[in-house]
């Protein structure tokens, strides 16, 4: 069965940007010109999907359910890394079957952990919040009362063989964009730039030269839009519209869906103007 798509995602200083076309194809025919290939999972996490549409929709719902249950049990969101590992472990038993899912998880992680220093300046892990967090991630069925997170003290002491040693504890904020690729064979990769689908080689030609960490939101949006347009222009299995999502510390926002046909006509006009200018200069 012939099918294809173009999805992409990359990180920059303003968060994560995800973009995709909207054409679903089957056996050389356009099955749906307005499908949604970027699926919101929760307020700070979306996933781009490539593969069989039904499989992608099903596993998105399963992942959303598990992440919501985790949040209800523990009072906090699971990190993007944890969500990618969870999805990878759930998909791995289906390796070698006809299941076809290739997802890029684009999220923003926010939280605080404790960092401790002794009076000699050496960084030490005293457990506390960090240890409790590890227990939460290992035990999904532990009650909140049993592992409630108490406020850490600013000063703490540990009894050692050599006597008393004082420690200072402070909170360190660990937040920022995160990007993972997960495939139905259990593959899980972390990176800063991914493009998946039959149109990805054409998209990479734009992304590799344009994506930089210091981009503004408008610049990143323009590059993503250009990459999807170039891919849909060359790949017969990609096309119709472009969807763009921006994930930041405030959550995800969706740009208005744009018809790529209009961009094609604008590009034609620009080419004609350049040709007329070249003819004028040659004369």
Q: Tell me the catalytic residues.
A: 5
Instruction: Supply 223's token pair.
Output: 């590059």
Whole-angstrom distance, CA of residue 84 vs CA of residue 107 = 10
Tell which residue, 234, 239, 281, 233, has the closest CA to residue 258: 239
DSSP state of 92: G
**Torsion sign over Cα 175, 250, 13, 258:** positive
How far is it between the farthest Cα atoms of the chain? Answer: 91
Instruction: Supply 179's token pair.
Output: 């990007």
Distant-in-sequence, close-in-space partners of 246: CB < 8 Å, separation ≥ 6: 14, 15, 16, 17, 217, 220, 221, 252, 253, 255
């Amino acid at each position: 069965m012939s099918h294809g798509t173009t999805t992409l995602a990359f990180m920059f200083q303003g968060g994560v940007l995800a973009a995709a076309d909207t054409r679903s194809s089957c056996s050389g025919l356009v099955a749906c010109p307005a499908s949604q290939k970027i699926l919101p999972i929760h307020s700070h996490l979306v996933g781009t999907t490539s593969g069989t549409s039904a499989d992608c929709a099903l596993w998105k719902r399963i992942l959303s359910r598990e992440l919501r249950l985790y949040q209800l049990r523990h009072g906090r969101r699971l990190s993007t890394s944890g969500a990618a590992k969870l999805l990878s472990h759930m998909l791995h038993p289906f390796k070698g079957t006809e299941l076809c899912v290739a997802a890029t998880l684009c999220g923003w992680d926010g939280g605080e952990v404790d960092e401790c220093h002794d009076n000699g300046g050496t960084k030490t892990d005293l457990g506390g919040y960090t240890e409790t967090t590890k227990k939460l991630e290992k035990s999904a069925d532990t009650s909140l009362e049993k592992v409630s997170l108490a406020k850490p003290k600013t000063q703490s002491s540990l009894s050692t063989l050599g006597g008393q040693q004082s420690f200072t504890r402070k909170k360190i904020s660990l937040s920022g964009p995160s990007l993972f690729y997960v495939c139905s064979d259990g593959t899980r990769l972390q990176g800063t730039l991914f493009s998946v689908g039959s149109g990805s080689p054409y998209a990479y030609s734009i992304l590799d030269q344009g994506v930089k960490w210091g981009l503004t939101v408008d610049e990143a949006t323009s590059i993503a839009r250009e990459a999807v347009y170039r891919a849909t222009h060359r790949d017969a299995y990609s096309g119709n519209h472009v969807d763009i999502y921006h994930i930041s510390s405030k959550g995800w926002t969706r740009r208005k869906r744009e018809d790529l046909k209009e961009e094609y006509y604008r590009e034609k006009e620009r080419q004609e103007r350049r040709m007329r200018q070249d003819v004028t200069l040659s004369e």
